[in-house]
Amino acid sequence: GENVEQHPSTLSVQEGDSAVIKCTYSDSASNYFPWYKQELGKGPQLIIDIRSNVGEKKDQRIAVTLNKTAKHFSLHITETQPEDSAVYFCAASMYAGKSTFGDGTTLTVKP
Amino acid sequence: DGGITQSPKYLFRKEGQNVTLSCEQNLNHDAMYWYRQDPGQGLRLIYYSQIVNDFQKGDIAEGYSVSREKKESFPLTVTSAQKNPTAFYLCASSEQANSGNTIYFGEGSWLTVV
């Protein structure tokens, strides 16, 4: 089955710096890669996603890049703010019933 | 507002008891899911349902049961056979279970065994 590895497990940055979280996946059939943000005690919220026919997608301060050949994708957050502090999860799926999640990255943005 | 509602938010269970977590969605989604989240770990799929009256086991179905009698509702029962049930449980839904559909999550339910 699919295996998703996410790195780093914790990340601390200064406010205004950039943060990058990376995920690798094993199943070349995966074609959908969402990223979720989870605040303490709440459910994950989708922040950005990318499909396999696209190499990069951007939404304001957030961007995701996908390298299908190398089977990895990354989340980039620029100009980080304290409210960006949360746990971020990546996922890889062929379809929603077969989504595999990474173990999460705890991002701390220091003011 | 459209969304996924889970209840209760916090639940305590005595050993040997079954408990049921409620999940309701008004997004008109066909597919619904239950995930378990343990501290510092990712999300593990317990059960999912692609359509009313149909459901499939996920990766960690043992000790859990579900039903899907209505499109809007997908309750999860944590049975006494689940030996380590203390966790954060997340209900989710998507338009369909196939074709790379986005999964949307509820706010979660904390279950603690006392």
| Per-position pLDDT tens, chain A of length 111 | 889 999 999 999 999 999 999 999 999 999 999 999 999 989 999 999 998 888 999 999 999 999 999 999 999 999 999 999 999 999 998 876 778 999 999 999 999
* Burial (0-12, 13-18, 19+ Cβ within 10 Å), A70: exposed
B8-43 pLDDT, tens digit per residue, is 999 998 888 999 999 999 999 999 999 999 987 889
Q: Cβ contact (<8 Å) for B102 and A46? A: yes
Q: Report the distance separating Cα B41 and Cα A7, nearest Å.
A: 13
B73-107 pLDDT, tens digit per residue, is 999 999 988 888 999 999 999 987 676 678 999 99
Of B56, B103, B110, the CB nearest to A96: B103
B108 φ/ψ sector (left φ>0, alpha ψ -120 to 50, else beta):
left
Of B94, B98, B108, the CB nearest to A43: B108
CB B90, CB B43: distance < 8 Å = yes
Best of B33, B37, B41, B54 to mutate (most A CBs within 10 Å, chain A): B37
B21–chain A Cβ distance below 8 A for any pair: no
Tell me the helix, strand and coil percentages in chain A, rounded to 5.
Answer: 5, 55, 40
Closest by CA position to B57, among listed A97, A6, A25: A97
